[in-house]
Amino acid sequence: MKLGADPKKIVILGGLVALMLVIFYFNFWASDDSSPAPRAVTTSVPRAIVPPPVVRAKGPQGERRRTANNASLVKDWKPRLGFQNPEDRPDPATVDPTLRLELLAKVQNVAAGPPGRNLFDFGQAPPPPPADLGKVSKIEVKQPPGPAPPATAPGPPPPPAAPQITFKYYGYKVSKSDGIKAAFLLDGDDILIAGENDTVKRRYRVVKIGISSITIEDTQFKSTQTLPLQESLAGAVG
């Protein structure tokens, strides 16, 4: 018979007691000083599927064009004499070195026109020719307008025209004893009988009595009027 506890069990029991004390401390004494921090909630978000970038193959022509553009932007333009490519240069063996003097003389013999200027004569341009003072342009001098012609005085107004005679000539008679004619005139409802040279209504004078007409003078206007014979009234009045 063994007395006392097993040392292994004592060690395990002491570890459990120490762990319980730590848990008790953090749950009771540590909660009084500050509240525990909230736990962050993390959610898993599915990632979008991004297709891989398309890599295009660069040909020699594209690389050459990009290189040429970059070189033109960086480098300054400089004038160049001769040919850029060696294959474009002419072969000196094929060039004719003969000097064509006849072509040079032909060009030198071309005379420049009088209004122009010789391109091979360097210097100041000749002054323009002086103006010809002998030719004077004719200047028209406008004379001031003269006085307006006097207005002509209006002449006397024309004499008024004589009014139309309203008598109706419907017949005549001839006296058997002396052959004197007497005309029958109708003035409205009044019948008038008058011979030649007789005055009617103190204004009208009978000038001539005819078979188909009668001539009467208006003594006020000094004008004569001829009245035709009214055959329709001859039977009605007679």
Task: Give yes or no for residue 186 having a pLDDT over 80.
Answer: yes
Point out the least confidently predicted range of 39-43, 66-70, 103-107, 144-148: 39-43
Domains of the chain: 168-237 (2.30.30)
Over the stretch 38-77, which tens digit does the pLDDT of each residue have? 454 444 545 545 555 655 545 555 556 666 565 555 556 7
Distance CA 219, CA 94 (A): 131
Reading the block at residue 219, the tokens are 């003594």
Distance CA 60, CA 111 (A): 58
| Global pTM value | 0.35
